[in-house]
Amino acid sequence: MSQNQSNPVSSSLPESGAAEGASPQARQKRYGIAIVGNDKIIDWLLPFLESYRATNSALPIYLIPYDDNVVQTRRAAEIYGATFVEEEPKEIDRLANELYPGIFNNNRRRLRKLQALALPLDEVAYVDVDVILFRDFSPIFGRLEAGKTEFIVASPSFEYVYNDRRSAYPFLRDVLLFNDGFWVTSNKYLKLSDFIETMAKDAEIFHDVRKRGQLFAQPLVNFVTHRRGVKIALLPNVVNNASHESYYKAPGISFSEGKPLDPDGKEIYFCHWAGATALPSRGTFDPAWTEFSKAAWARFGK
């Protein structure tokens, strides 16, 4: 068993603003990363894990299974020191079945990312696995603050959350719409039970406003945070010199010492191949992904 598996709090970072002279336990919070994967997307999972190893191996990482197709996924978790989450997400699957009863199981399981909210962490960074990490996530943690910054996102998403009927609901008119491929929060501010309770009361509104077209988790995560008034902040507004950019087709990207910068010189923390229909090959970020992929497969062994 890896160090992360046996002691997931051992990589905790000092809590910002802790009182001088407090015990080590009082000065620390448990921070970690959560991902979802299975063998079908092993070609994405392995480069992600290799990038995690290169940039964030001091942080515990939890791998939530997308389904039961996880023979290779379990092996990858062991190699990279990830904690494989064994608990079956019955409440999440039940919610998915209720919200999308006529939808094929593979799509409903996209809601399993919500299991990140039930992990034994004080703050969790959920990240999709069609991503590679470029920078240490340490500066991202310890930024949450009640009533001000309760849910951190990297990128807005204006087209893929709601339809035009959102204007009929005042609580949705001036909210920040975001890509749910990356977020940081605490179960002090957002819990799995919040999703269940909100859908029990407002599922009709949700279905009225949600964007269709193979979108399942993203409209839901947006809706629940908006309906409950969770305070959402963009990464650049809470981390000095951080970029909001993460899209793999972003223009004007440069690299300094192997790490990407946006056109304004802001630091890009990760690249997300959101909506990609093929593995990376010829884009700006693709050489870095290819190197991580080669290293990962060499470590994994085909």
Other beta carbons less than 10 A from residue 36's beta carbon: 27
pLDDT recorded at residue 103: 63
What phi and psi, each to the nearest 5 degrees, are found at residue 53?
-60, -35
pLDDT recorded at residue 276: 87
- Distance between first and last Cα of the chain: 22
DSSP label at residue 169: S
Partners of residue 267 on adjacent β-strands: 242, 261
Average pLDDT over residues 77-92: 94
Sorting pLDDT into bands at 50, 70 and 90, what band is 160? Answer: confident
Average pLDDT of every residue of the chain: 89
pLDDT recorded at residue 79: 98
Query: How far apart, in Å, are the Cα atoms of 198 and each of 59, 115, 206?
Result: 32, 16, 9
pLDDT recorded at residue 216: 82
pLDDT in tens, 8-21: 333 444 443 333 33
Sorting pLDDT into bands at 50, 70 and 90, what band is 7? Answer: very low
Sorting pLDDT into bands at 50, 70 and 90, what band is 5? Answer: very low
SS3 category, 74:
helix
Average pLDDT over residues 63-69: 95
The answer to whether the CB of 285 falls within 8 A of the CB of 150 is no
The answer to whether the CB of 272 falls within 8 A of the CB of 246 is yes
Angle between helices 42-55 and 286-300 (to 10 degrees): 100
pLDDT recorded at residue 6: 36
pLDDT recorded at residue 147: 96
Residue 285's Cα: distance from chain center in Å?
19
pLDDT recorded at residue 214: 72
Helix (H) or strand (E) holding 123: strand 123-127
Which positions ≥6 away from 269 have C-beta within 8 Å?
Answer: 133, 134, 135, 137, 140, 154, 235, 242, 243, 246
DSSP label at residue 153: E
d(CA 175, CA 200): 22
Return the percentage of the chain with pLDDT > 70, whole number.
88
Domains of the chain: 31-301 (3.90.550.10)
pLDDT recorded at residue 215: 74
Of residues 275 and 166, which shows the higher confidence score? 166
pLDDT recorded at residue 302: 61
SS3 category, 295:
helix
Of 64-78, 201-215, 264-278, which range is least confident? 201-215
The answer to whether the CB of 196 falls within 8 A of the CB of 224 is no
Q: Which two tokens stand for residue 45?
A: 């999972």
Average pLDDT over residues 179-193: 96
pLDDT recorded at residue 286: 96
Query: How far apart, in Å, are the Cα atoms of 297 and each of 38, 72, 243, 293?
Result: 16, 12, 30, 6
pLDDT recorded at residue 131: 98
pLDDT in tens, 199-214: 999 999 999 999 887 7
pTM score over 0.85:
yes
Sorting pLDDT into bands at 50, 70 and 90, what band is 164? Answer: very high
Partners of residue 61 on adjacent β-strands: 33
Q: Do strands 123-127 and 151-153 pair parallel, antiparallel, or not at all (unpaired)? A: unpaired
pLDDT recorded at residue 20: 38
d(CA 194, CA 150): 14
The answer to whether the CB of 46 falls within 8 A of the CB of 280 is no
d(CA 47, CA 127): 13
Of 112-116, 154-158, 240-244, which range is least confident? 154-158
Radius of gyration of the chain (CA): 19
pLDDT recorded at residue 211: 85
Query: How far apart, in Å, are the Cα atoms of 118 and each of 88, 127, 137, 182, 225?
Result: 12, 15, 20, 17, 16
